[in-house]
Amino acid sequence: MTVTDEWGLHGKVAIVTGGGAAGEGIGNGRATCILLARAGARVLVVDRDLPLAERTVAMIAAEGGTARAGSFDVTNSQQCRAMVAEAVRLWGRLDCLDNNVGIGSRGSVVAESEENWRRVMQVNVDSMFLACKYAIPEMIRTAGGGAIVNISSISAIRPRGLTAYTVSKGAVIALTKAMAVDHGREGVRVNCIAPGPVYTPMVYARGMSEAARAQRARASVLGMEGTGWDVGQAARFLLSAQARFITGQTLVVDGGASLVGPERDSAG
């Protein structure tokens, strides 16, 4: 792997949660892991399913990059503490955190069950709260600051029948802004990405039809779907020194889908 330091990430240490993906597929987390490694970062690839994280590590190693796999439940406080401790144990510091874990839901507040509402909030919001709770002090202690990216969704800014999911992803944007204000003077930048119709293993594992894919493409003013690489490129930028003067912002990566009327049956 040929490494240049155009991103200011060479030698930095990153944790990416949700860094696995099925098979050889490229999801948002896996793409971010690979791109950070290509920029010279050392990456702790975290996934609940360890073999999926290990496959990401193998893909990075095949290019000459440095990564390790870890299985941690990011909805659990002690597991998040252990995750951060593992990155520091491996490489002595922590510079970057990409919070990429999330689940979906459909239905209104009337249709949604209380149990599923709480589960969506736990996975989509609590996980980021807990990961940041333990990561931020170690970033400050070991590296004098750092950068965090939280993954939201255009559903947060354009509701379309996914109420619990929409609320959880809106909370991610609010959490991002609050943490940016709280920790900016300590050298920690916090930004957010709101992906739109992105074709990832999580999407096509549900057996999406070609007609559904065409509808997703039409939802974009560019007439196309995005990929995990598009989200990964945005995450690497926001975590890099090139974004040194950017914090508390939400970068929409959706091909312009949020600029036009919603198609309620499309996914993004």
pTM: 0.93
Number of Cβ atoms within 10 Å of the Cβ of 31: 28
pLDDT of res. 199: 78
Number of Cβ atoms within 10 Å of the Cβ of 92: 11
Residues identified as active-site: 152, 165, 169
Question: Do the domain assignments include residue 136?
Answer: yes
- State how many domains the chain has: 1
Q: How many residues does the chain have?
A: 268
* CA triple 27-31-37, angle to 5 deg: 150
Taking residues 249-266, report their average pLDDT.
Answer: 80
Taking residues 177-187, report their average pLDDT.
Answer: 98
Question: Do the domain assignments include residue 3?
Answer: no
Q: By three-state DSSP, how is residue 44 classified?
A: strand
pLDDT digits (tens, 9 = 90+) for 236-247: 999 999 999 999
Residue 265 has pLDDT above 50, yes or no: no
pLDDT digits (tens, 9 = 90+) for 123-143: 999 999 999 999 999 999 999
Question: Do the domain assignments include residue 4?
Answer: no
- Domain range enclosing 146: 13-198+226-252
Question: Do the domain assignments include residue 139?
Answer: yes
pLDDT grade for 165, boundaries at 50, 70 and 90: very high
Tokens 């995005």 label which residue?
Answer: 226
CATH of the domain at 180: 3.40.50.720
Tokens 């955190």 label which residue?
Answer: 97
Question: Do the domain assignments include residue 2?
Answer: no
pLDDT digits (tens, 9 = 90+) for 38-69: 999 999 999 999 999 999 999 999 999 999 99
Question: Do the domain assignments include residue 260?
Answer: no
Question: Do the domain assignments include residue 262?
Answer: no
Question: Do the domain assignments include residue 97?
Answer: yes
